[in-house]
């Protein structure tokens, strides 16, 4: 099988994380070729910048320029090679270690034996520093306060250290200078004496308009075999009690090579430790190999993205955060990401991570049953109901890992959430759910809201428009169906009738008010007059993934979805039909490109819903759609590669439906709002778990070969291999065969 770490290696990426909510992921970095981490780090949704850089100087304290000549990224590390002005070569390995440790490991080699001084140093606005916290006790440390975009503060302890013997150190307050990683701007350039720094901390003067500089220094005896050094900064959020280690711990011992040089063994370096952790992450997922390299690369890249965005919790589970709107920062689980992540995480070798993701979200449930949409970022906002497909998440996870105890645990919070949803968003019991405003779901520039509030949110207004959305109503239907199932298995059989009544009411309302027989399409409904808006959006296809549709509705799906003049663009599907008067493939609204356009761009989160709609339609009554579904997923996947470059997969917020370009201008890569892994497993490999067993029925992708091994589902372990039209399935050691187009059933 492929090595995912090596498979994903590239030169144009820089994101690093230890999967604990602290990451190095600047949206638009300026200093990647400068040693260390001078661009911002992210502590949950707080930004901390700069961290530190590393300078090389000679015995006289004169800076030696370091020119970056190569850069290589993997999920585990960022390696940068430098040529020094004295002829030496250096290789730096940057990693992010658990507990907020940002490490910079160095190997320096020369043509002859010579000394070299490496100094790791940091600089920070002194006004943000608690001056009494500044000290050196084996690490230069200080406490600073950072703020998020809403002004909320977070105290952070920063510790800068040199692993091994520190030759010298210093810290000073200076008048303001540019915060750039340039040695000549520091006080150390003039304080250098006797081959080192003065070993002093001087904090005299007014800190109001000053910069705090701190440095640690290591002397290297460079040889042709090389000399090693490691620097690191630990960032500890002081209000998060789980991350309170008081100092940077010693790294693993350095092994002595047979030649006598101090060269770390592969696993004894921090880079080696990071590679080992990432290898362990990838080992938890079914191994996938495919003759279509885009599918294979996309599969492993999506797993990287899930782990990168993960936040570990005390219970050993993770919650995958979303990118904070408009900032590029990470924060804890949002309503849009958790259900999407559950769809992918359910394919791990254990259900605990997926279950923990759900638990972590509902741990913040309010007394009225609602849940904040962006935990830690804005506790005042209601949950974004349009982003919360909880019923689908629960049923999908239970199909893989049935567990009545977990359903009993989640029944109370999920039913309370449903009660809040029905009361707050359908007070008149219409069977259709309101979207309170376009701002609630981020659809500020959207044809569907322009239809009910012309010139409102699209012109920067208060966006008081309210509509009954076909997407959120579909979510509510699935939620009621899930709770009906859960009530029986969770020990609340009398409740099942109530949820069935709600489900049937939604079903009837969707058929009567949202479905249009003439257009053969589902539409949103204008709250003011009860009329269908007739705005064609990709949300209109969401019901096709549920029991809300019948075989007679399927021609409508084909008529609209597969029409190039509406939704079947080269990179399907735009969120608004091509023939909509406000359609723009370029993210423009009324002539201006927008950050969050919803009038024609391709949204991976929406695409996942449409993929499931196509898959369900092909399975239930329109086998002719099998080819279309396979083509759709193939185009979907290829879109998520820069210019079709196999070595540059991505996952941006939105894309151009005509040319496939990503929203690079937003700076938000690795956004995890779709469920690509689930699509590849379900439709490429054909594995679909349900309450009676497992069905193996791959779609016709025309693959020469594909295999997915070590899949855990419903207490079984199975491998699926495809060779041309032949499908070979091994279940608990027993082999069965079929051909494409003939489903193979594995009963419980």
Q: What is the per-residue DSSP string for 20-89?
A: SSEEE--SS-S-TTSSSB-SPEEETTEEE---BEEEEE-TT-PEEPEEEEEEEE-SS-EEEEEEETTS-E
- In 3D space, the residue among 69, 176, 164, 72 whose CA is nearest the CA of residue 118 turns out to be 164
For the stretch 233-283, pLDDT in tens is 999 999 853 333 333 333 333 232 222 223 333 347 999 999 999 999 999
Between 375 and 270, name the one with better pLDDT. Answer: 270
Task: In whole angstroms, give the CA distance from residue 548 to residue 553.
Answer: 10
> Residue 196 — very low, low, confident or very high, per pLDDT cuts 50/70/90?
very high
Output the pTM of the full model: 0.92
Average pLDDT for 66-81: 98
Other Cβ atoms closer than 10 A to 265: 13
Task: In whole angstroms, give the CA distance from residue 614 to residue 282.
Answer: 29
CA angle centred on 571, ends 525 and 740, rounded to 5°: 100
Between 388 and 678, name the one with better pLDDT. Answer: 678
Average pLDDT for 521-540: 96
Can you read off the two tokens belonging to residue 252?
């693993």
> Residue 164 — very low, low, confident or very high, per pLDDT cuts 50/70/90?
confident
Q: pLDDT exceeding 70 applies to what percent of the chain?
A: 89
- In 3D space, the residue among 491, 501, 475 whose CA is nearest the CA of residue 411 turns out to be 491
Q: What is the pLDDT of residue 354?
A: 94
For the stretch 475-487, pLDDT in tens is 999 999 999 999 9
Other Cβ atoms closer than 10 A to 36: 26
User: Which of 363-372, 373-382, 481-490 shows the lowest per-residue confidence on average (mean pLDDT)?
Assistant: 373-382
Q: What is the pLDDT of residue 323?
A: 32
> Residue 457 — very low, low, confident or very high, per pLDDT cuts 50/70/90?
low
The region, left, alpha or beta by phi > 0 then psi within -120 to 50, assigned to residue 421 is: alpha
For the stretch 648-670, pLDDT in tens is 999 999 999 999 999 999 999 99
For the stretch 349-370, pLDDT in tens is 999 999 998 998 888 888 999 8
Element (H, E) at 477: helix 470-489
For the stretch 549-598, pLDDT in tens is 999 999 999 999 999 999 999 999 999 999 999 999 999 999 999 999 99
Q: What is the pLDDT of residue 374?
A: 52
Q: What is the pLDDT of residue 597?
A: 94
Q: What is the pLDDT of residue 314?
A: 34
Element (H, E) at 97: strand 89-97
User: Which of 156-165, 309-318, 562-571 shows the lowest per-residue confidence on average (mean pLDDT)?
Assistant: 309-318
In terms of average pLDDT, the best of 62-76, 195-209, 307-321 is: 62-76
Q: pLDDT exceeding 90 applies to what percent of the chain?
A: 78
pLDDT at 489 over 90: yes
Q: What is the pLDDT of residue 1?
A: 63
* In contact, 343 and 390? CB cutoff 8 Å: no
Give me the chain's average pLDDT, please. Answer: 89
Q: What is the pLDDT of residue 459?
A: 53
Q: What is the pLDDT of residue 441?
A: 76
- Per-residue HEC secondary structure of 648-711 comes to CECCCCCECCCCCCECHHHCCCCCCCCCHHHHHHHHHCCEEEECCEEEECCCCCCCCEEEEEEE
Q: What is the pLDDT of residue 240?
A: 55
- Looking at the chain, which residues constitute the CATH 2.70.98 domain(s)? 4-242+257-278
For the stretch 690-724, pLDDT in tens is 999 999 999 999 999 999 999 999 999 999 999 99
pLDDT at 533 over 90: yes
Between 310 and 206, name the one with better pLDDT. Answer: 206
| CATH code of the region 4-242+257-278 | 2.70.98
């Amino acid at each position: 099988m492929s090595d995912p770490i090596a498979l994903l290696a590239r030169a144009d990426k820089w994101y690093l994380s230890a999967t604990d909510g602290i990451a190095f992921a600047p949206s638009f970095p300026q200093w990647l070729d400068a040693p260390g981490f001078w661009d911002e780090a992210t502590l949950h949704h707080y930004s901390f910048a700069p961290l530190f850089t590393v300078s090389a100087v000679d015995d006289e304290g004169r800076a030696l320029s370091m020119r970056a000549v190569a850069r290589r990224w993997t999920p585990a590390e960022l390696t940068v090679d430098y040529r020094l002005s004295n002829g030496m070569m250096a290789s730096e390995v940057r990693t992010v270690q658990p507990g907020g440790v940002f490490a910079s490991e160095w190997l320096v080699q020369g043509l002859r034996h010579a000394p070299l001084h490496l100094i790791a140093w940091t600089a920070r606005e002194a006004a943000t520093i608690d001056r009494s916290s500044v000290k050196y006790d084996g690490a230069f440390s200080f406490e600073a306060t950072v703020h998020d975009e809403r002004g909320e503060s977070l105290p952070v302890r920063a510790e800068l250290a040199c692993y091994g013997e520190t030759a010298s150190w210093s810290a000073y307050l200076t008048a303001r200078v540019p915060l750039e990683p340039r040695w000549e701007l520091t006080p150390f350039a003039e304080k250098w004496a006797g081959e080192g720094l003065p070993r002093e901390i001087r904090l005299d003067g007014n800190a109001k308009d000053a910069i705090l500089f701190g440095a640690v220094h290591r002397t290297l005896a460079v040889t042709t075999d090389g000399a090693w050094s490691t620097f690191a900064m630990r960032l500890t959020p002081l209000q998060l009690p789980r991350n309170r280690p008081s100092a940077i711990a010693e790294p693993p011992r350095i092994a002595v090579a047979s030649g006598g040089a101090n060269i770390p063994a592969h696993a004894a370096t921090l880079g080696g430790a990071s590679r080992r952790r990432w290898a362990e992450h990838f080992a938890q997922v079914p191994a996938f190999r495919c003759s279509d390299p885009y599918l294979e690369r996309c599969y492993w890249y999506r797993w990287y993205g899930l782990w990168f965005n993960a936040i570990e919790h005390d219970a050993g589970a993770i919650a995958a955060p979303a990118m904070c709107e408009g900032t590029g920062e990470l924060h804890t689980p949002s309503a849009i990401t958790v259900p999407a992540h559950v769809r992918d995480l359910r394919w791990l070798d254990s259900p605990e991570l997926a279950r923990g993701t759900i638990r972590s979200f509902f741990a913040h449930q309010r007394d009225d049953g609602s849940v904040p949409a962006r935990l830690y970022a804005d506790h005042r906002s209601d949950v974004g109901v349009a982003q919360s497909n909880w019923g689908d998440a629960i049923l999908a996870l239970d199909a893989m890992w049935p567990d009545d105890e977990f359903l009993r645990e989640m029944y109370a919070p999920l039913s309370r959430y449903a009660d809040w949803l029905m009361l707050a968003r359908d007070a008149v019991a219409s069977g259709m759910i309101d979207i309170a405003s376009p701002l609630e779901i981020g659809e500020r520039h959207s044809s569907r809201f322009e239809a009910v509030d012309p010139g409102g949110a699209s012109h920067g207004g208060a966006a008081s428009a309210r509509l009954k959305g076909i997407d959120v109503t579909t979510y509510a239907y699935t939620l009621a169906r899930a709770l009906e199932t859960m009530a029986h298995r969770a020990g609340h059989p009398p409740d099942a009738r109530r949820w069935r009544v709600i489900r049937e009411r939604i079903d009837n309302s969707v058929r009567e008010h949202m479905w249009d027989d003439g257009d053969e399409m589902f539409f949103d409904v204008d709250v003011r007059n009860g009329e269908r808006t007739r705005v064609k959006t990709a949300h209109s296809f969401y019901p096709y993934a549920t029991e809300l549709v019948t075989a007679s509705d399927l021609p409508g799906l084909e008529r609209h979805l597969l029409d190039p003049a509406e939704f079947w663009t080269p990179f399907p599907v735009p969120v608004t039909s091509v023939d909509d008067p406000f359609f723009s493939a370029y993210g423009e609204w009324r002539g201006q490109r927008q950050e969050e356009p919803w009038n024609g761009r391709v949204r991976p989160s929406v695409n996942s819903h449409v993929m499931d709609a196509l898959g369900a339609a092909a399975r239930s009554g329109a086998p002719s759609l099998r080819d279309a579904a396979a083509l759709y997923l193939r185009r979907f996947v290829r879109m998520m590669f820069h210019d079709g470059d196999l070595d540059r997969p991505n996952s941006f917020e939105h894309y151009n439906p005509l040319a496939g370009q990503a929203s690079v201008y937003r700076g938000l890569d690795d956004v995890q709002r779709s469920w690509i892994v689930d699509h590849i497993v379900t439709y490429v490999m054909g594995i679909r778990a349900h309450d009676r067993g497992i069905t193996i029925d791959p779609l016709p992708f025309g693959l020469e070969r594909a295999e997915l091994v070590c899949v855990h589902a419903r207490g079984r372990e199975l491998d699926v291999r495809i060779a041309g039209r032949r499908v070979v399935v091994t279940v608990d050691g027993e082999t069965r065969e079929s051909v494409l187009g003939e489903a193979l059933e594995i009963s419980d």
